[in-house]
Amino acid sequence: MSIALSNARVLRGTSLVADQSVIIADGRIVQVGPTAATRTAGIERVDLGGGLLLPGFIDVQVNGGGGVLFNDAPTVESIRQIGRAHRRFGTTGFLPTLISTDLEVVAQAIEATRQAIAAGIPGVLGIHIEGPFLSVERKGVHDPAKLRELDDSAVGLLTSLGVGRTVVTLAPEVTTPHIIRRLADAGVIVSAGHTNATYTETTAALRNGLRGFTHLFNAMSQLTSREPGVVGAALEDRASWCGIIVDGEHIAPAVLRLALRCKPHDRFMLVTDAMPALGTDIRSFELQGRHINVCGPSCYDEEGRLAGSNIDLASCVRNAIELLGVPLHEAVHMASLYPADFLGLAGELGRIEPGYRANLVLTDERLHVRATWIDGQFQQQ
């Protein structure tokens, strides 16, 4: 059935265009134009009351939400619950993210993601495997007992999803450029994170298919006067993407404002790194035997180390505007078009244009979510 979402201010390119209608059929956008001129005869019309209609948000790093941690239960039902929790805040596409664990659990998570995509669980675009191929020196709250080098024996597992997208966060120094190239050539999106790599090691990885950087600045070697480190390599390279957590705590806003001057804005994407408390009243939880406290938008272990966040993508968009000074359209693109591009999905997600999937979010003036559509399926908040 076709529907016309009418009387909306639609984000098209860099502008909010008033009094627009978006016609959806079979889960795709088929027409966008002025409400008065749009052909809607025989089509159900939904009046959006002048609200902001934006491309649906995409979060490539979602550890949990709705009381569920993906590591604790790598199942289809967990993915469903996590997606439901984040959808309330405008996320219409996400990668359930697995924190460093045994390879047997990685296999379970990949199988659950494959089944979730086959079952049509709303919003799931693939999987993000964050570790266990990480640096002990930059482990953060990842369990050091789970960390290991990445050799040929794990390549088959990491390339086995077969549907959707697979992102693997690794430390370049615990593997080789050859293996990074093998992963990239097999379609895996390789990202550097929890890494103590040198600038030279990082640039070698970039030449061999490294595509992005996981939560830039956090848990990686920093930019210094004589050793640019991972951060220096990330900011110098204009082709790679950088995930950023804009909660005001993971990274000082001034540091992010400086980062945005170093490379094109379309290479930055907002991520939540959200934990199970998102969308709940939970104030603490267990992570691989560690007690984690929820403190405002962030989470901390008992030693005061950051352990993911309790922030949603809509809040990250607002923070990007308020803390980083980017215009509304840019902040929205950092949560929609740019992560879609990172995932190789910019031809079908991240824009409100004919032919694109009808993944949309309706917000009020302050960017609080009122409704979402995933492949044309409506959900009111």
Q: Choosing from 273, 281, 341, 375, which is the catalytic residue? A: 273
Segment (H or E) for 114: helix 103-118
Q: Are strands 3-12 and 44-47 parallel, antiparallel or unpaired?
A: parallel
Active site residue 237: no
Segment (H or E) for 18: strand 15-25
Cβ pair 238, 268 in contact under 8 A: no
DSSP 124: B
**SS3 of the chain: helix, strand, coil, percent, to 5:** 25, 30, 40
Q: How far is CA 179 from the centre of its chain?
A: 24
Contacts of 253 (CB under 8 A, 6+ apart): 246, 323, 324
Q: At what angle do helices 103-118 and 76-87 cross, to 10 degrees?
A: 70
| Phi-psi label, residue 107: left if phi above 0, alpha if psi -120 to 50, beta otherwise | alpha
What gap in Å lies between CA 314 and CA 92, rounded to an integer? 11
The Cα-based distances of 38 to 7, 23, 32, 43 in angstroms read 11, 8, 8, 11
* Cα 310–Cα 79–Cα 319 angle in degrees, nearest 5: 30
Active-site residue list: 273
